[in-house]
Structure 1
Amino acid sequence: MSDNPFRPSFGRTPPVLAGRDDLVARFADTFTSGAWAPERTSLIRGLRGIGKTVLLNAIEDAARGAGWFVISETARLDLVDSLTRTVLPRLLREHDPDGLTRHLIGGGISSVSLSTRVAEEHRPEQDLRDQLTRLCRVAADQRVGVLITLDEIHGDVVDQIRPLTIALQHLQREEFDVAFVGAGLPGSIDEVLQDKGTTFLRRATLIELDSLTLDETMRALREPIHTAGRTIAAEALEQAALASRGYPFLVQAIGSYAWAESPEEDEITPVAVRAASRRAHRTMGSNIHAPSLTKLSATDRTFLAAMAHDEGPSRLGDVANRMGVETKYASVYRHRLITAGLIDGAGWGKVEFTLPYLRDYLREHVVASTLQRTAKSTFPKTEPDLRRPD
């Protein structure tokens, strides 16, 4: 029997990248076609656990497969310093064999002085644009390009993102083969785009990551199980898919827990899936729901608490009444929560949640709130009854 094939940890690439194949293929084309494409400057927006980092990993793999140089970073306070002092000097030393040849052609140089001169050629500098330009020139000499990915983009580090976007703008104007793909939560991306120094990114292709369809979810569960040497009963597969609501984190968590429920059995049963689903929903609460609420204001949470009283989409007027405020006042928080990606419009005057099982989590933890689904229209609206005794 093989090891558990599922990967419920953040950023870990699952065994089957269901539902993202077309996106990865589009990026792969931009790295091999030699032609400029809109995807070469892209921003991926999505909720926690929707698969942003996993998609970045796949895009980086596609770029490496085409021979491109890849700079994979996370947005942080020392980003520019890390790039100019460590990352770019290392890449330049790795990919610029001509640096050594140029100094050899100079003639009459001892091996000691030669090493010194090569090191000086790629010494750490503070000029980010200059170093990126040199790396792009080296890549062009080898007929490839440079991909920069930036994960977890947020407004607190906009002063680090600003010089990077300015450098990228100049590199594209000089027609270098350079691509940039950033990823972050919806509200964080919007915050960065509002900065005057990041106007270049406002022209980026926005990729909104959604949940998987029912067919994609079943494939993401079924194929790894079969490849690893086990089977899953048809009823169990359907239950697992419906319990996940197509949410990638839940797909991996339910698959992983179901596999571990009775590892000695050849077939994963509905009983194992029900137990796994309950456990996965608790994990979703601590790993996805709780962090999503941390930065909200008290009034934001009150708005969500008011929504939790409904079993489906909430009328804004009802939410305002429960909050004890005017509808106009409640509308301000409606907008804030839509920007944060926690709720969405559900028709005229209505809102609904975007994270699976958030309503249940908030009701349970007395922070009250709710959520419907993020799955596409092909997903059934009914949810499996996991409370049924095993």
Structure 2
Amino acid sequence: MDPIRDPFAPGAGTPPPELAGRDALRETLRVALERARLGRPAKSAMLVGLRGVGKTVLLDRIREDAEASGIHTVRIEAPEQRSLPALLAPQLRQALLRLSLTASAKDASIRALRALAGFAKKLKVKYDDIEVGIDFDPEPGLADNGDLEHDLQALFEQVGTAAKAAGTALAIFVDELQYVPEEQLAALITALHRTEQRRLPVVLIGAGLPQLRGRMGNAKSYAERLFDFPEIGPLPAEAARQALTKPLHDEHTDITEPALARILEVSQGYPYFLQHWGSHTWLAAAASPIDIADVERASTTAVAGLDEGFFRVRFDRCTPKEKKYLRAMAELGAGPHRSGDIANALNEPVSSLAPTRSALILKGMIWSPNHGDTAFTVPMFDQFMKRIVPADDWH
């Protein structure tokens, strides 16, 4: 098959040719954003799920939907080493400059920019990575106490007032939110709570690994009432079929039922793996219709590609002790597993492994579905660990 015409799009956050199975959630969040624009109660949302389920793609599509309807948006990715104020400040500045172009919102936007100037100036002492252009002098007493939780509330109030004056809403999209430190996460939750109390049109739509739900609850006990936490998982069977067949049909290519069933089986319905196997199968096939022999040939290169890219990049971030912990988990299967069972597999006491487990959670490698349980955040990682660290070596 012509590689130039390959319709599939495996990649980190790369939009697939067919975003199947997510329409209901997109509609739910469209309604929430429109309610916010009207000043009605509207819950913010946190999209939670494992790696490879398409959270980033979905976040970006919801943002595109919002912008198409005239709602102002900002988009942030939260890496492990940057502070939340440093990420927010430049994006809020851009949003406020756009809002200031609306005559009815000009004065409110300028006051919000003054608040942002005070916010950045005072907090730079604590968060020295804040870099933001200053368009107006700070207004004394406005978002300039030097306390993140207090100042972020004041800043969000001014931003929400500007959006309201413009007759729109501001939607803040944050990916990888699980990496935000708990103190900063608490300040963000408090600021959103304040804008909701005042019926100001500011909505947060975040995405993160499954532990995000628990981290937000720990940061502020009322977080579960303030946010919805839709779980993003593998696609239902029919949606997974559509994600494969529609791009193929658009290229005038058919696929046999056994071949389709095999891709659905090996990918387990995870969107990234569907795109990955679809692309490798396209390249392995000689002509339409694609058959199961094409899928079997493609699986060799598909697995190798996952090992060297999707899986290996995460594996290489781990220390030898962390890798051994992950291999012990893999020996027990896909999981989740009790911490005691992992300790038994390693012939070590549970208490001695607690620092390793905590470090892996912070790196986003594992999470705790329930107290004392441990699971991989990356689908099929147990199979990868068995391939990369053979059974005779890991002990």
TM exceeding 0.5: yes
Q: How does 1:28-39 map to 2 (within 5 A)?
A: 28-33=30-35, 34=38, 36=40
Q: Match of 2:137?
A: none
SS of 1:179 mapped into structure 2: strand
**What's the TM-score, normalizing by structure 2?**
0.72
Alignment-derived partner of residue 127 in structure 2:
none
1:269 Cα deviation after fit:
2.8
8 Å contact 1:185–1:341 — kept in the other structure? Answer: no
Structure 1: which 5+ runs fail to align? 104-117, 369-390
Q: Which residue number in structure 2 is paired with residue 114 of structure 1?
A: none
Cα-to-partner distance string for 1:36-84 (whole Å, 9 max, x where unaligned) = 466x322222222121111211221222233211111112425423533
Q: Which amino acid aligns with 2:177?
A: I
Residue correspondences, number: 347
One-letter code of the match for 1:207? P
Which of these residues, 69, 72, 89, is aligned with residue 69 of structure 1? 72
Aligned match for 2:280, one of 257, 267, 271: 257
* 1:139 and 2:141 correspond: no
Q: Does 1:80 align with 2:85?
A: yes
Counterpart of 1:280?
A: 302
Structure 2 CA distance for aligned equivalents of residues 258 and 228 of structure 1 = 14
| Deviation, structure 1 residue 352 | 7.3
Q: Select the residue among 74, 80, 89 that pairs with 2:93.
A: 89
Shift of 1:159: 4.9
> Residue type of the partner of 2:67?
R
Query: 1:278-326 CA distances to partner (integer Å, 9 max, x unpaired)?
Result: 3222333344434555666766644543344456769867655432246
What secondary structure does 1:284 align onto? helix
Cα distance change of structure 1 residues 344 and 275 upon mapping to structure 2, 3 Å threshold: farther
Conservation of the 8 A alpha-carbon contact between 2:244 and 2:278: yes
CA contact (8 A) 2:72 2:171 kept: yes
The answer (yes or no) to whether the contact 1:303–1:330 under 8 Å persists in 2 is no
**CA deviation string 1:88-119 (max 9, x = no partner):** 2322222223559979xxxxxxxxxxxxxx98
Cα distance in 1, alignment partners of residues 311 and 320 from structure 2 = 16
Tell me the percent identity: 25
Alignment of 1:1-390 (within 5 A): 3-33=5-35, 34=38, 36=40, 40-76=43-79, 77-84=82-89, 86-98=90-102, 122=113, 125=117, 126=119, 127=143, 128-155=152-179, 157-187=181-211, 190-191=214-215, 193-195=217-219, 198-199=220-221, 201-203=223-225, 204-262=227-285, 265-293=287-315, 301-309=323-331, 319-325=342-348, 342=366, 355-366=378-389
Q: Return the offset for 1:156.
A: 5.3
Distance, in Å, in 2 between the alignment partners of 1:134 and 1:321 is: 55
**Deviation of residue 17 (structure 1)?**
1.6
Is this contact kept in 1: 2:336–2:369, CA < 8 A? no
Shift in alpha-carbon separation, 1:290–1:193, aligned structure 2, 3 A:
farther
Q: Deviations over 1:233-291 (max 9, x none)?
A: 222111111111111111111111222234x6233232322232232223333444345
**Aligned mates of 1:100, 1:23 — CA distance in 2:** 33
- The runs of 5 or more residues in structure 2 that have no matched partner are 120-142, 144-151
SS of 1:210's equivalent?
Answer: coil
AA aligned opposite 2:164: A
